[in-house]
Structure formats: structure tokens, C-alpha cells
Amino acid sequence: MLPRVVVHNEMSLDARLDGLDVDMGRFYALAGTWHEDCTLVGSETILAAMPDIGSVEPSDAASGGPAGQQTDEASSAGPLLAVVDSRGRLPGLARLRGQPYWRDVIALCSESTPREHVDRLEADGVECVQAGAPRVDLRRVLEYLADRHQVRVVRVDAGGSLVGVLLREGLVDEVSVAVEPRLVGGESHRWLVRAPDAEPDDVVQLSLREVERFEDGMLWLRYDVADR
């Protein structure tokens, strides 16, 4: 059985995930809507927030989470943090086990992930799941999280790359976006959805579920994926 998968992002009106002025308190208040059992994070998102995790030795550069998340919530009650990392770029993942929010960290790797990376994580006490090759088979790891860890709700905290793949594989149930009243412009690969090889048939139809307007002009839009 697959868990319910919700994508929640803050973006500009032109669908950019950078050049924003994110109120992190509000972002995580909205993100708490789903009470996820698991936060699914892309490797780039981890590296953008915590470049420290990309090396074995810790540095002073670490912040509080994929988007600087800080909370006093007890870790034993928090969600799992599952990180997609087929290339073994996050050797310092074990350092996230001590974060206050998540109850534990799982590395989602593939059968192509370097053996020494898997061995290092396991030696550090990090559960490492390998599915698919060369990239992670996202459907299989979601099924694993549901079966092995009783995960019923997953909130995706990632950029357009992971979001794009999840959407095209038909694994997303809900898309939630907080739209800042700004147009960033310019050229960037930081879009809400990235799908460089998308075909016309890959268009994802959405059905509006809810709209909320904030005093500063931000709109919070929630959509169900129509054919889920």
C-alpha cells in the first residue's frame, strides 16, 4: 500500500522556489497541516540547507533542517526523515539523527549507490534502503516506508526535481503551494516542477480543494491530483 503523498512548497507567482522571502514560522505552521509520518527530502535540498552533510567531518555550517526547521517537539513523536540519495552525496547524514524534530533518519539509496557509502551509513546507525538503479525507485521505497514503518502520510520537502519525478510517476495525492506576491524573473532551474523530458501526455491535472488568503497578499492553494 502506498502512503498519502503531499507536496508543500512556497513559491513566487512565477513558480520560482528561490528569490523568496519565506516566513519560516508560517511555512512550518502550514506544513504541519498534514501531521506527516515521514518527511521526504531531496538530496539537493539537504545540501542547500546543510552543506555540512556532504562531508564526513562536521563543520560549523549546519543549520536546523532542510529549510532551517527548528522546533521543540519531542523527537520520539516526530516524523521520520527520509532522504533520496542514490549517489551517496550525503555521508554525514547520521548527524541529522540528533535533530530535535525527526524521530530518525533513513537514507533512500539505489542498487547503484557506492557500497562504501552504504557501509558507512550502516556503521553510523542510519537505516539504508536500496531500491532501483541507477536512481531510487520511489514507488518501492514509499511502499517500504508504509509496510516497514507504518508511514501513512508523507510530506515532500524538495525542489522541482524530486517533485517532478514523483508527479510523473503518479505518486502525489496533493499539491500545496504558498504563493508569495512577487515575480522573481530571470533564468533558473529552481522551478516548482522540473521535467526536462516531459511529453504532452505528462501534464498533471489538478482539482482545487482550498484557497486561503493572508494579509500580506500570500495565497495558500491546495489541490488534489485529479486522477489519484
Residues engaged in binding ligand NAP (CB under 6 A): 9-11, 17-18, 20, 42-45, 48, 67, 84-87, 135-136, 138, 157-162, 165, 190, 194
Would you call 154 exposed, middle or buried from its count of C-beta atoms within 10 A (0-12, 13-18, 19+)?
buried
CB of 148 to ligand NAP, least distance (A): 19
Cell (9 digits) for 110: 539505489
Nearer to ligand NAP, 17 or 204 (CB): 17
Looking up cell 564526513 gives 56
Cβ-based nearer residue to ligand NAP, 36 or 85? 85
Cβ-closest position to ligand NAP: 159
Distances (CA, A) of 61 to 37, 98, 172: 28, 16, 33
Q: State the burial class of residue 70 (Cβ atoms within 10 Å of its Cβ: 0-12, 13-18, 19+).
A: middle
- Taking the least distance from each CB to ligand NAP, the nearer of 16 and 149 is 16
Residue 4 or residue 194: which is nearer to ligand NAP going by CB?
Answer: 194
